[in-house]
Chains A and B, each alone.
Chain A
Amino acid sequence: MVSAVKETGRDKVFVICNYIFVFLAFIVVAYPVLYMISASISDPKLVGSGEMWLLPKGITFEGYERVFQNSSIWTGYGNTILYTAVGTLINLFVTLPAAYALSRKDFAGRNFFMGMFMVTMFFGGGLVPTYLLVKELNMVNTMWAIIIPSAASIWNIIVSRTFFQSSIPKELQEAAQIDGCTNMRLFIKIILPLSMPIIAVMGLFYGVGNWNSYFSALIYLNDADKYPLQLVLRQILVLQEMSAQGGGAMDASSAAALNNKAEIAALVKYAVIIVATVPVIAIYPFLQRYFVQGVMIGSVKG
């Protein structure tokens, strides 16, 4: 910045300490991720014993083969793609027009609507009344139960409203109205094409949220063939339903087979984590600036 002024000795110490600190933070975050990737293609024996701790050892792709053969993972994947796509479209359909209306100063009643939405940030009906409502609407065990009850988030409405307020010049709306353009045409033909950044941000925020959610599926879905990926993952990773459960007497060969099965299950776990997380993590670096933009728009007190 001001290179003319030389850095003093204690400044150098500060800078070096700071670099070390930041580098340590980097290692702490990056290591588990790297470990997971390595473990997913390593010999499960070496992973389990701790011999594989950084780079893959005894490379095998059996974990991925098992994952690709597992029909419930594929059904889950398909369901998640469907729920995420439909859910995100509905999220955008509810959020963007409402946020635009709320951004208009000449919209009579905007404070009423805003207040009505904001209350829900601080107080809600709670789990059981919501569940009873969804049940009453006959949505239980359908995809609508996990899409409609989370059709919009007040936080995202506020972020979009702030964007419309700060990035769309007011003169545009006035000029369009003088030319006799209706609000509908104005929104579809002029506002939306100018709002690509916020559409991207909202699509990503909602999309990632939908992709990663499991709880509403857990409480509303009964049929296993409707489970989204995260619920299948829960069975494999948390409930460990794929791992072998010991029980009863066994001879040496079946014990060995069981041991082998447990190792395969461990391998599958790493592979399935990678397979489930890759779509989100892979697109993220390219879209990072949009995500960051979204957080920053939200931080401007609206």
Chain B
Amino acid sequence: MQETKRILTGSALPGLAKGNNKAWKRVLQNWELYLFIAPAFFYFLIFHYGPMYGIQIAFKNFIPTKGIFGSPWAGFDHFIRFFNSYYFWDLLWNTLSISLYELAIGFPLPIILALAFNEVKNGFFKRTVQTVTYAPHFISVVVMAGMIITFLSPSTGIITHFLEWLGFNAPQFLTDPSWFKTMYVFSGVWQGAGWGTIIYLAALSGVDPQQHEAAIIDGASRFQRVRHINIPTIVPTMTILLILNMGSLLGVGFEKILLLQNPLNMEASDVISTFVYRSGLVDAQYSFSTAVGLFNSVVNAILLIVVNQIVRRTNENSLW
């Protein structure tokens, strides 16, 4: 209000002290808003920025009795040890290949499903299919792992029985390293593809019906209308989600991997985050695993920034 009044009266040079005063007045007037944000502020400060302070142990030899600050410096020793270890390339390869595999299958499928759902005009059928395909999203990762283990069991699993019924020799899904990634990716698709359609369906509901009407009059087939009207509508959503996915390339859903891991499939299933968990919390190599984790987060952050830059150069739908 005062802002507009000042512009209207044309006082171009508000006194500096007066401006300061006003800012203070605004702060004081809304002091309760600071009370509102205090819990979240302290939560993020302590539980997100606090651990960032702890990252320094990646460059130290952490000794619990001396604490984070008092432990002696080690420079880049832990990083060098990690980069030179025989498992470094395996971990990096597993992490990247699982992520890219997941991206290649899990990213396009919700888009295709959403486009298909959108073409279903029967309301009851559409609602039923949507309710059912969204549901697996709510299954916990432990139950999911339990289902995978039971379904793929070499002696009693239903998928094993089904493959045998078809005349195939069912592979040892759970223990054969070459099947681990497929098992991981496709179970994830089963669980998440339906839920993933919601965001695209929301975007598709914004398509102007007049565009379709005009296209019909021009003689466009339904497939052509999907191709030239619906798909371009969801491209911005696709771009944003793709950037976010790229940013978490090294952050594969390790909770499920941890549950499906066993000594026999380790060579394909060990990723950076499970390695951090094992070396850090199971073997208590605090400094070393913090260094590995830091490497992971830094690569993630760089990937996110790079992908965002590339997208920003090519079109306007970047994150920032």
Interface on A for B, CB 8 Å cutoff? 1-2, 5, 7-8, 10-11, 14-15, 18-19, 21-23, 25-26, 28-30, 32-33, 35-36, 47-50, 53, 93-95, 97-98, 100-102, 104, 106-109, 113, 116-117, 120, 122-133, 148-149, 151-152, 154, 157, 182-184, 187, 208, 211-215, 219, 230-231, 233-234, 236-238, 240, 266, 269-270, 273, 276-277, 280-281, 284-285, 288, 291-292, 295-296, 299, 301
- What residues of A have a CB within 8 angstroms of the CB of B128 in the complex? 26
Tell me the complex Cα distance, A285–B120, Å.
Answer: 20
Query: Pick the contact of A122 from B147, B164, B247, B289 — CB < 8 Å?
Result: B247
Number of A-B contacts (CB under 8 A): 283
Tell me the complex Cα distance, A127–B251, Å.
Answer: 12
Selecting from B4-12, B42-50, B93-101, the interface stretch reads B42-50
| Given A32-B190, A233-B143, A273-B146, CB of A132 within 8 Å of CB of B32 | no
- What residues of A have a CB within 8 angstroms of the CB of B105 in the complex? none
- What residues of B have a CB within 8 angstroms of the CB of A11 in the complex? 221-223
Task: Give me 6 A-to-B residue pairs in the complex whose CB atoms sit less than 8 angstroms apart, sorted by A's number.
Answer: A97-B37, A125-B49, A149-B47, A215-B258, A238-B149, A269-B146
CB distance from B165 to the nearest CB of A (A): 7
B116 within 8 A of A: yes
- What residues of B have a CB within 8 angstroms of the CB of A109 in the complex? 27, 34
CB distance from B206 to the nearest CB of A (A): 11
Q: Is the CB of A234 within 8 A of B142?
A: yes
| Binary interface encoding of chain B residues 273-284 relative to chain A, with 1 for a CB under 8 A from any of its CBs, else 0 | 100110011000
Query: Pick the contact of B136 from A29, A35, A101, A299 — CB < 8 Å?
Result: A29
Tell me the complex Cα distance, A131–B68, Å.
Answer: 13
Query: Pick the contact of B199 from A33, A123, A231, A295 — CB < 8 Å?
Result: A295
- What residues of A have a CB within 8 angstroms of the CB of B190 in the complex? 28-29, 32
- What residues of A have a CB within 8 angstroms of the CB of B304 in the complex? 122
- What residues of B have a CB within 8 angstroms of the CB of A187 in the complex? 32, 36
- What residues of B have a CB within 8 angstroms of the CB of A124 in the complex? 48, 51-52, 297
Q: Is the CB of B54 within 8 A of A129?
A: yes
- What residues of A have a CB within 8 angstroms of the CB of B83 in the complex? none
CB distance from A176 to the nearest CB of B (A): 13
Q: Is the CB of B217 within 8 A of A5?
A: yes
| Given A122-B304, A123-B297, A124-B52, CB of A26 within 8 Å of CB of B143 | no
- What residues of A have a CB within 8 angstroms of the CB of B134 in the complex? 284, 288, 291-292
- CB closest chain-A residue, reference B219: A8
CB distance from B147 to the nearest CB of A (A): 7
| Given A29-B135, A125-B52, A126-B51, CB of A152 within 8 Å of CB of B40 | yes
Q: Which residues of chain B from 64 to 99 have any CB-CB distance to chain A below 8 Å in the complex?
A: 68
CB distance from A199 to the nearest CB of B (A): 15
Tell me the complex Cα distance, A109–B50, Å.
Answer: 21
Tell me the complex Cα distance, A230–B141, Å.
Answer: 9
- CB closest chain-B residue, reference A174: B1
- What residues of A have a CB within 8 angstroms of the CB of B164 in the complex? 50
Q: Which residues of chain B from 142 to 174 have any CB-CB distance to chain A below 8 Å in the complex?
A: 142-143, 145-147, 149-151, 155-156, 158, 161-162, 164-165
Interface on B for A, CB 8 Å cutoff? 23, 26-27, 30, 32-37, 39-41, 43-44, 46-55, 57, 68, 113, 116-117, 119-120, 125, 128-129, 131-136, 138-143, 145-147, 149-151, 155-156, 158, 161-162, 164-165, 190, 193-195, 198-199, 202-203, 209, 212-213, 216-217, 221-223, 237, 240, 247, 255, 258-259, 273, 276-277, 280-281, 286, 289-290, 293-294, 296-297, 300-301, 304
Q: Is the CB of B44 within 8 A of A117?
A: yes
| Given A125-B51, A295-B198, CB of A25 within 8 Å of CB of B40 | no
CB distance from A275 to the nearest CB of B (A): 10
Tell me the complex Cα distance, A291–B197, Å.
Answer: 13
Query: Pick the contact of B276 from A128, A208, A213, A281 — CB < 8 Å?
Result: A128
- CB closest chain-B residue, reference A236: B146
CB distance from B121 to the nearest CB of A (A): 8
- Rank and list the top 3 A-B pairs by shortest CB-CB distance, nearest first: A125-B51, A237-B146, A129-B54
Tell me the complex Cα distance, A120–B165, Å.
Answer: 50
| Residue from the set B40, B44, B198, B293 with the largest chain A CB neighbour count within 10 Å | B40
- What residues of B have a CB within 8 angstroms of the CB of A104 in the complex? 30, 33
- What residues of A have a CB within 8 angstroms of the CB of B221 in the complex? 8, 10-11, 14
Q: Is the CB of A215 within 8 A of B39?
A: no
- CB closest chain-A residue, reference B294: A126
- What residues of B have a CB within 8 angstroms of the CB of A18 in the complex? 116, 119-120
- What residues of B have a CB within 8 angstroms of the CB of A208 in the complex? 138
CB distance from A139 to the nearest CB of B (A): 11
Query: Pick the contact of A128 from B46, B143, B293 — CB < 8 Å?
Result: B293
Q: Is the CB of B255 within 8 A of A101?
A: no
Tell me the complex Cα distance, A32–B217, Å.
Answer: 44
CB distance from B163 to the nearest CB of A (A): 11
- CB closest chain-B residue, reference A291: B134
CB distance from A220 to the nearest CB of B (A): 10
Q: Is the CB of A182 within 8 A of B301?
A: no
Tell me the complex Cα distance, A30–B193, Å.
Answer: 13
Q: Is the CB of B52 within 8 A of A101?
A: no
Query: Pick the contact of B39 from A97, A213, A237 — CB < 8 Å?
Result: A97
| Given A126-B51, A269-B150, A296-B199, CB of A157 within 8 Å of CB of B40 | yes
Q: Is the CB of A129 within 8 A of B290?
A: yes
Tell me the complex Cα distance, A127–B295, Å.
Answer: 13
| Given A18-B120, A97-B39, A131-B281, CB of A214 within 8 Å of CB of B138 | no
- What residues of A have a CB within 8 angstroms of the CB of B147 in the complex? 32, 36, 273
Query: Pick the contact of A152 from B35, B43, B131 — CB < 8 Å?
Result: B43
Q: Is the CB of A238 within 8 A of B142?
A: yes
